[in-house]
Amino acid sequence: MKKLFSKSIKRIIEKWAVNEWKVAFSCLIIALALPIVLNTRYLLSVMTICCVNSILAVSLNMLTGYLGITSLGHAAFYGLGAYTAAILGTRFELNIIVTLPAGMIIAGIAAFLLGLAAIRAPSRHLAIITLGFCEIVKIVELNWFSFTGGANGIHSVPRISLLGWDLSGKYAKYYLALFLLILTISTISLIMHSKIGRAIYSIRDNEIAAESMGVNVFSYKLFVFTFSAMFAGLAGAFYAHHFSYVSPLSFTFEQSIVLLSMVILGGIGSMPGTIIGAIILSLLPELLRDFTTWRQVIYGAIIVILMVARPSGMLGKYNFKHIRQQVKYSKLLTKNENKPLEKMTG
Amino acid sequence: MLFQQLINGLTIGTAYALVTIGFTMIYGVLELTNFAHSSYYMLGAYLCVSFMNLIGLDVLGFLLGTIGAILVCGTISALTDKLALGVIRKRGGAAISALLCTIGIQTVINNAIILGYGSETRQFINVFNLGRFKIGPATVSWMQVIIATVAILIMLLLTFIIRRTKFGAGMRAISQNQRAAQMMGVKVNKIIQWTFFISASVSALSGVLIGMYYRTLEVNMATVVGSKAFAAALLGGIGELPGAVIGGFVIGVLESFVAGYVSSGYRDAIAFAVLIVVLVVRPQGILGKKIHHKV
Amino acid sequence: MRRKNYFTFVVALVLCLALLVGCSGQAEKPTDTSGSAAPVDTDGGKSDVTEPSAPVDTDGGKSADTAPIKLGGIGPLTGGAAVYGIAAANGAKIAVDEINALGGMQFELKFEDDEHDAEKSVNAYNALKDWGMQILVGTVTTTPGIAVTTESFSDRIFTLTPSASSPAVIEGKDNVFQMCFTDPNQGIASAQYIQEKQLGTKVAIIYNNADAYSTGIYEKFASEAKAKNLEVVSTTTFTDDTANDFSVQLTEAQKAGADLIFLPIYYQPASLILAQAKAMDYKPAFFGVDGMDGILTMENFDTALAEGVMLLTPFAADATDERTVAFVKKYDELYKEVPNQFAADGYDVVYAIYEALKDKDVKAEMSPSDLCDLLIEAFTSESFVFNGLTGENMTWAKSGEVAKAPKGMVIENGVYVGMD
């Protein structure tokens, strides 16, 4: 029974790997079509949150999964983006056309400066350095009263509108979030499929070897760190307009941990896995609503069980490119019945 | 003022130091950031109070309650390793998967405490009324002295275990190379489970002591200690128990000085900023040795 | 392969943009109507409300009268702030049960968890809205409250919050009302009280700067103290993360020579401050706000520590009036705890809604926005006076702010005694 189960999973994964683009495309179609069925405001708002969290998880995955740096402070950049958008939106009444890029830039600058100072530190130190940075940002948000409103946060951030259209309806917000998600996914996958991407992978696999091959480890690390923070800033800026309220309590170290959990749960270094992880961890608290006081306990228990059942995350173990090659070879083999080659495919 | 703030800082630091000792043990052996660690700190304190309510609100009740809390927390911790973390290790999961698993365990324990005990802040009855004494202008309570002594004793004891016993040799072997240690006949899983047991016990004991010092138990008490313990462990140098204690004290004193002389609002911010600078300048921590990586 | 990738991306982006643009057209219409004088609930919410009550109608008029009005509650039931949310939920539940037992108008209460998080709170709100909530009891805490009331304002759902006390919660929202004092009022009242009664000359303040409630009171207190020439010699802060050690803050207050410490904070950290000040042999006067209530009923708390503590509070669990005694007894029976002010606030909120609706022609199938208009009119009408656990003769301003007299209390021999 168990064997059958794992075999069928293997087959599904193989199918998925071979038809990766078709699957991605149909997922997109489904995501676009979902609001037809799930059209209440609650569901759409949850789905919008799924998109925002996916952007965050995908950007964190670039840092943690592709480069191998564990960040416990991703929420800091998320918060910086949100605060930038909120401050620009409330004080200068700027449109999202300005605030979204501004959120990205501010988060990027902060990450660049932090990275410039600290990215050379060993990976495990970076975990605590980013954690510390997250706390520092939160504390500044709390204490810089005249600018950030302290614990009160900033409310009535202007609703989303674009070139005169009001985009603050439930459908529009969802599609905008989805659009931003696709933008993030496509930008990051384009980078990872390029020369830069291969350099990044080489740093993850062996930093010293990569360095000796002429990869400038420092600047690549700094680039990924900044880039990943920029997308967190983008998510934050959208969040500020989406909820029209930001407060320091939304961007704490705990939030960073949740984001990291999404990446790990889905499978480190796997783009679809990360998105699945983000969706699961965004939906889980909602699905557990009926358990009221028990829900956090169950939530924790589910995480433990999932990790024990699949220690590498949902899709962590599968390298789609590798599986595709395997499938190709086995097809070749069955065609030619070339026995000696079998060892290569195993 | 200066001296009093120093004493205040040392008291806060003792709490961090005690939690850090257990934390750094696991980090040293498995290189695992155990987020559940601070939960045992809270659980231990709550359990001790429950046991005391059962046995009696006196010194005997306190001692038995403490032992009970230590045993329960240690057992839970060892069980989580046997049932969850060990399985992940065996199945070849990355260290970071174990990290997420500990986050799950932490969520379960922290919220189970809220479920079981309610989220009201509870008072911890101080069974020793030991009083205070004065050193110069500063007031010091005997409880502070006891806690600091216990912290140092535990550190010495565990350092002895790690450096001088067979069990400790096993731990050190695992921390260097798990597979090689296994091949040399080290009972890897057993030693790791005992490490989890010891680390959670120390954490529970510190929860009891700190809870008694502040005479209060609250459901937030685990959250902050966790990140501070992580910081203290790295500051002191990974796997170095004396480093853990020093790291804890340094952070505690730093915090209280910042709060006293700069701004209480920015105390954690400045503490973390200093930590970042130290880690960038001296990555191996205060007591750690520099490790050269090879390809 | 590569070319195909680009192609897919471009198609995807274009599709998404197209939908976005298409959607903006759709979204424009509903928002236009909701902006007009008679707001219409164009979202799924309204049909959800009317649908379940439709079959009830066919049963005949009688059952329509007893169909419940759906109250939604939001507050933290899990996490660090759970103590406030659970208390308010319990208080509200008791009130609903009492009212339902009376016969006549019926309520149905559903309380959702928000973990004291703005994002979760809005989710909880949307979940309640889909459930068919007609009136919102919430939120319990301020930060989520600011986010949720923005939604409930645009949806025209009447909102009465038990304890979200920041003015930002009600600001510019005509359908949002508070059961508690606003923070600035408490700050001003406290400063005036201290100055008038000459309770202290050098004041130190310790407040929680991660908490909107505490910060809100502190700010107004500080500015009012300045205006009243009250000397503030030391201002220190803490956060929920650092809420167990106050030796640093107390040392600073002592050094500055403060003879009164103002504590605009909740009772849990306050109890620690009292104990630690005693341990330092530092004996200033302490002055608290309504969050201080609850300190005497803390389990195992040494009430001698609180001797002489002054506070402004609308509710005291050991008050001897009939209503409070009955409530405390019932609460203790059901939940084995002494209720704090949040429980009393939750209880009062439900009763205030009940009082406001009692004499009106209310039907369960009324839309939230109709109920909202009705309730706004009732709450702001001059004849509406509410007597509850948390105050006598409460009235509400159009802004949503409650007017009730804060009671100055001092703790003597472990009980509250009126200061006047």
Cis preceding linkage at A226, omega within 30 = no
Radius of gyration of chain C (CA): 24
pLDDT digits (tens, 9 = 90+) for A29-61: 898 888 888 888 888 889 999 999 999 999 999
- Among chain C residues, the shortest Cα distance to A161 is held by C24
- Among chain A residues, the shortest Cα distance to C214 is held by A151
- Among chain B residues, the shortest Cα distance to C207 is held by B265
Backbone angles phi, psi at B257, to 5 degrees: -70, -40
Q: How confident is the model at residue A104 (pLDDT cuts 50, 70, 90)?
A: very high
CA–CA separation, A201 vs A68, rounded Å? 9
Residue in C241, C272, C337 nearest the CB of B216: C272
Q: Given CB atoms, is C142 within the 8 Å cutoff of chain B?
A: no
Residue in B8, B216, B223 nearest the CB of C271: B216
Q: What is the mean pLDDT of residues B17-32?
A: 88
| Cβ pair A117:B105 closer than 8 A | no
pLDDT digits (tens, 9 = 90+) for B40-57: 999 999 999 999 888 888
- Among chain C residues, the shortest Cα distance to A186 is held by C9
- Among chain B residues, the shortest Cα distance to A68 is held by B96
Per-chain mean pLDDT for chain C: 80
Q: Given CB atoms, is A300 within the 8 Å cutoff of chain C?
A: no
| Cβ pair A175:C120 closer than 8 A | no
Q: How confident is the model at residue C38 (pLDDT cuts 50, 70, 90)?
A: very low
Q: Given CB atoms, is C271 within the 8 Å cutoff of chain B?
A: yes
Interface of B with A in 230-269 (CB under 8 A): 230-231, 234, 238, 263, 265-266, 268-269
| Cβ pair A293:C113 closer than 8 A | yes
Q: What is the mean pLDDT of residues B258-274?
A: 85
Quick one: pLDDT at residue A340? 55
- Among chain A residues, the shortest Cα distance to C79 is held by A296
| Close Cβ partners of B145 (under 8 Å, ≥ 6 residues apart) | none
CA–CA separation, A299 vs A285, rounded Å? 7
C-alpha torsion angle, residues B110, B113, B118, B121 (rounded to 10): -70
Quick one: pLDDT at residue B133? 80
Query: Which of B32, B120, B279, B294 should be substituted to probe chain A, the one whose Cβ sees the most A Cβ atoms within 10 Å?
Result: B279
Nearest-CA distance B128 → chain A (Å) = 35
Please give the share of chain B, as a percent, with pLDDT higher than 90: 25
Query: Which of C244, C252, C266 should be substituted to probe chain B, the one whose Cβ sees the most B Cβ atoms within 10 Å?
Result: C244
Q: How confident is the model at residue C29 (pLDDT cuts 50, 70, 90)?
A: very low
Quick one: pLDDT at residue C40? 36
Quick one: pLDDT at residue C73? 94
CA–CA separation, B109 vs A304, rounded Å? 12
Interface of C with A in 163-222 (CB under 8 A): 166, 168, 171-172, 209-212, 214-216, 219
Quick one: pLDDT at residue C18? 52
Contacts of C146 in chain A (CB under 8 A): 152-153, 155, 245, 247
For chain B, which domains are there? 2-281 (1.10.3470)
pLDDT higher than 90, residue A178: yes
Q: Given CB atoms, is B225 within the 8 Å cutoff of chain C?
A: no
Lowest mean pLDDT among A252-256, B1-5, B179-183: B1-5
pLDDT digits (tens, 9 = 90+) for A285-320: 888 887 877 888 898 999 899 888 888 888 877 888
End-to-end CA distance of chain B: 53
Nearest-CA distance C221 → chain A (Å) = 15
| Cβ pair C245:B11 closer than 8 A | yes
Query: Could you tell me how many CB contacts below 8 A there are between chain A and chain C?
Result: 175
In order, the DSSP letters of chain B are -HHHHHHHHHHHHHHHHHHHHHHHHHHHHH----TTHHHHHHHHHHHHHHHHHHH-SSHHHHHHHHHHHHHHHHHHHHHHIIIIIHHHHHTT--HHHHHHHHHHHHHHHHHHHHHHH-SS-EE--------EEEETTEEEEHHHHHHHHHHHHHHHHHHHHHHHSHHHHHHHHHHH-HHHHHHTT--HHHHHHHHHHHHHHHHHHHHHHHHHHHTEE-TTHHHHHHHHHHHHHHHH-TT-HHHHHHHHHHHHHHHHHIIIII-STTHHHHHHHHHHHHHHH-TT-SSPPP-----
Quick one: pLDDT at residue A55? 96
| Cβ pair C271:B141 closer than 8 A | no
Q: What is the mean pLDDT of residues B202-214?
A: 88
Residue in B4, B123, B268 nearest the CB of C299: B123
* Predicted TM-score of the model (pTM): 0.84
Nearest-CA distance C32 → chain A (Å) = 10
pLDDT digits (tens, 9 = 90+) for C277-296: 888 888 899 998 888 877 87
Q: Given CB atoms, is B31 within the 8 Å cutoff of chain A?
A: yes
pLDDT higher than 80, residue A88: yes
| Cβ pair C82:B132 closer than 8 A | no
pLDDT digits (tens, 9 = 90+) for C74-95: 998 887 778 889 899 999 999 9
Quick one: pLDDT at residue C3? 45
Q: Given CB atoms, is A328 within the 8 Å cutoff of chain C?
A: no
Residue of A21, A20, A22, A14 lying closest to A345 (CA atoms): A14
Nearest-CA distance B129 → chain A (Å) = 37
Quick one: pLDDT at residue C15? 52
- The first and second tokens of residue A308, run together, are 């024990």
Lowest mean pLDDT among B21-25, B193-197, C15-19, C134-138: C15-19
pLDDT higher than 60, residue C13: no
| Cβ pair B218:C275 closer than 8 A | no
Q: Given CB atoms, is B8 within the 8 Å cutoff of chain C?
A: yes
| 8 Å CB contact between C391 and C405 | yes
pLDDT digits (tens, 9 = 90+) for C209-268: 888 888 889 988 999 998 888 899 999 988 877 777 888 889 889 888 899 999 999 888
| 8 Å CB contact between C152 and C176 | yes
Radius of gyration of chain B (CA): 19
| Close Cβ partners of C126 (under 8 Å, ≥ 6 residues apart) | A40, A41, A42, A45, A46, C151
Quick one: pLDDT at residue C57? 37
For chain C, which domains are there? 49-54+65-181+322-404 (3.40.50.2300), 184-313 (3.40.50.2300)
Q: Given CB atoms, is C312 within the 8 Å cutoff of chain B?
A: no
Quick one: pLDDT at residue A177? 93
Nearest-CA distance B276 → chain A (Å) = 6
| Cβ pair B231:A307 closer than 8 A | no
Reported ipTM: the value is 0.86
Residue of C279, A253, A301 lying closest to B225 (CA atoms): A253
Quick one: pLDDT at residue C33? 33
Please give the share of chain B, as a percent, with pLDDT higher than 70: 97
Nearest-CA distance A135 → chain B (Å) = 6
Contacts of A179 in chain C (CB under 8 A): 13, 16-17, 20
pLDDT higher than 50, residue C44: no
| Cβ pair C16:A175 closer than 8 A | yes
Q: Given CB atoms, is A132 within the 8 Å cutoff of chain C?
A: no
Nearest-CA distance B169 → chain A (Å) = 24
